[in-house]
Copies of this chain bind each other. A is one copy, B any other.
């Protein structure tokens, strides 16, 4: 039973839903390749105030409805994408969609946390999918690895660094009079960073679940997780420690997860067979020759101890349009009458640096090029 197209109904038109709608339209050819048939956005359920948002202005006004009945009676919707958030009215929308035999994809954290078990049970009974990758960790892949890669493991613990929610820390500071600046300074003296961590641990008879600020050793990988990035560390009995890291919030990364689930649900609707979701097979890629790559370079060389050494070397680099980012000239070795020069370049073509190196090696003042190493930022 194969279909001509998959119909998508979108609930909500916030920044995440707006991005999903845009990608469904802009990447339609690409998505069709992945699913096997076109994905058609058939209806968007909005609130009256959504219609004045910039993302609404770029779309056909025929797509919009503010009426629940119109949305749920729209023919040809196979997948409902709920991106309105909160429990009410989202819970009723989920139940109505699932009971109507539609697959549901959601980014709704609160709903999945509070009613996930009930909704997954209902979805199984109705033989439809309920997918919620986008509700956990924004753009960070975590639900799919749990369903697939980690499935043979007994999970011993999950540790999630939550940077977004500094609100929590601020509240605690206000409530409990904690002076975090001083505390952090002292902790750093002892080799720790502070982080807000969500922790789940499984032992033989109970699960331990908590969220609070903690100090972690500064040389741990989690201590490096900063800014908009979040990380989830999972410990399994076979796999040991695995860490997933990415943007834990934000409209575009979250839309990436929603779209992954939409494609997966679409593929399930399109293919009656169990064919795993296709990595498109292709064998026609063109490989870039090494000489064409652009990167930064690190050069270390031993030179004679004479005036003008640096100017000669930098002239060769300049001739090949390679610009210097930093230079370290080490003190002269008085006995050997040699000096050491370390140069970091700005991005340059491999071809240019190779040509420059040949010339540098020929210079009378250069005894040896000791190192030539590429730099990735």
Interface residues of A (CB under 8 A from B): 23, 27, 30-31, 34, 117, 120-121, 124, 127, 129, 131, 133, 139-141, 144-154, 159, 178-180, 182-183, 186-187, 189-190, 192, 194, 197, 199, 201, 203, 205-210, 212-217, 219-221, 224-225, 229, 236, 238-247, 250, 252-253, 255-257, 259-260, 262-264, 268, 271-277, 279, 281, 283, 285-288, 290, 292-293, 295, 298, 300, 326, 328, 342, 344, 370-371, 373-377
B298 touching A217 by the CB < 8 A rule?
no
B145 touching A141 by the CB < 8 A rule?
yes
B182 touching A260 by the CB < 8 A rule?
no
Q: CA–CA, A320 to B131, complex, Å?
A: 47
B268 touching A371 by the CB < 8 A rule?
no
Number of copies: 2
A208 touching B286 by the CB < 8 A rule?
no
Q: CA–CA, A1 to B143, complex, Å?
A: 29
Given contacts A214-B374, A287-B209, A370-B182, contact A148 B242 (CB under 8 A): no
When distances are taken between beta carbons in the complex, the residues of chain B under 8 Å from A344 are 190
Return the chain B residue nearest A240 by Cβ.
B247
Q: Nearest Cβ in chain B — how far from A157, in angstroms?
A: 10
A190 touching B281 by the CB < 8 A rule?
no
A34 touching B225 by the CB < 8 A rule?
no
Kindly identify which residue among B147, B209, B240 contacts A279, using a CB–CB cutoff of 8 Å.
B147
B376 touching A276 by the CB < 8 A rule?
no
Q: Nearest Cβ in chain B — how far from A172, in angstroms?
A: 10
Q: Nearest Cβ in chain B — how far from A333, in angstroms?
A: 13
B214 touching A238 by the CB < 8 A rule?
no
Q: CA–CA, A246 to B30, complex, Å?
A: 31
Q: CA–CA, A250 to B243, complex, Å?
A: 17
When distances are taken between beta carbons in the complex, the residues of chain B under 8 Å from A274 are 268, 271-274
Return the chain B residue nearest A145 by Cβ.
B141
Max chain B CB contacts within 10 Å: which of A34, A149, A373? A149
When distances are taken between beta carbons in the complex, the residues of chain B under 8 Å from A146 are 279
Q: Nearest Cβ in chain B — how far from A209, in angstroms?
A: 6
A147 touching B178 by the CB < 8 A rule?
no
B242 touching A140 by the CB < 8 A rule?
yes
Max chain B CB contacts within 10 Å: which of A146, A210, A273? A210
When distances are taken between beta carbons in the complex, the residues of chain B under 8 Å from A197 are 376
Max chain B CB contacts within 10 Å: which of A216, A240, A293? A240
A-B contact pairs, 27 of them (CB 8 A): A141-B145, A141-B244, A145-B145, A148-B148, A149-B260, A150-B256, A152-B255, A159-B376, A179-B371, A182-B371, A186-B328, A192-B375, A194-B373, A199-B376, A203-B288, A208-B293, A215-B373, A215-B376, A217-B377, A221-B225, A224-B224, A238-B252, A238-B256, A239-B246, A240-B250, A242-B245, A245-B245
